[in-house]
Amino acid sequence: MRKSVCFYKGVLLGSAALGPLGCQPDQRPVASQAPAAAPAAPAETSPPLAEQPLDKTDFYLSIPTGFALKATNGPDFLVYYFAPADTTVQADFSGGLYFGGHPQEDQAASPAGCQTRRAAVAVLGHPASFTIHRCATGYTVNSVFDSHSGRGWDAQVNAFGEAKSAAGLRQLLAIFATLRRQPAATKPAAATN
């Protein structure tokens, strides 16, 4: 089984979903086995994204219009879920972010009947490694990375989600790439005479 590492761009351009910027196979393909280049597929369109503040933090995430954030507060953590605001809408993907000190790591082994790969996504200005499981029912993604907040209670972030299609997976990873932090403004130093 050949495994690949794919890199996704951390910025959305317009409302187009991002595909991999490039994949690096673990082994080099033999030139005679390379398939002929396929014609370019038409660009997929994705719902436009709107930036939302993650209440009780100084983080922001861009989610599709028509989606809503739901927060769950714990004693020493916060979890934000995003899914369609209208619960009767069947979405191609959903996900969430956990902020806290003890995130749940992804299982090392692939679930039975699933293929596993890793993808690097630029999140908060740093590469984050996402574990992607491709199963018969779709995709699951998981990543744990440093929040760079400098605080203890939200030192780490766990990004997680599910997608029913490859297009949903690309949109989900693109949403995670929009996570940003807006630190509280510092007061200017008092002028001295």
For residue 187, what is the DSSP state? P
- Rounded CA-CA distance 114/132 in Å is 10
From 23-27, 36-40, 143-147, the region with the lowest mean pLDDT: 23-27
Residue 70 is part of which domain span? 4-11+49-181
Q: How many domains does the chain have?
A: 1
Check pLDDT > 60 for residue 29.
no
In a domain, residue 103? The reply is yes
Beta strands, E only, the chain: 4-8, 20-25, 49-54, 59-64, 67-73, 77-84, 93-100, 115-123, 126-135, 138-146, 156-163, 180-181
The larger pLDDT score, comparing residue 80 to residue 189, is at 80
Contact 23, 4 (CB under 8 A): yes
Check pLDDT > 90 for residue 164.
yes
In a domain, residue 82? The reply is yes
Check pLDDT > 80 for residue 49.
yes
In a domain, residue 32? The reply is no
In a domain, residue 121? The reply is yes
In a domain, residue 17? The reply is no
In a domain, residue 43? The reply is no
pLDDT band at 149 (very low <50, low <70, confident <90, very high): confident
Q: What is the pLDDT of residues 68-77, one digit of tens each?
A: 999 999 888 9
pLDDT band at 101 (very low <50, low <70, confident <90, very high): confident
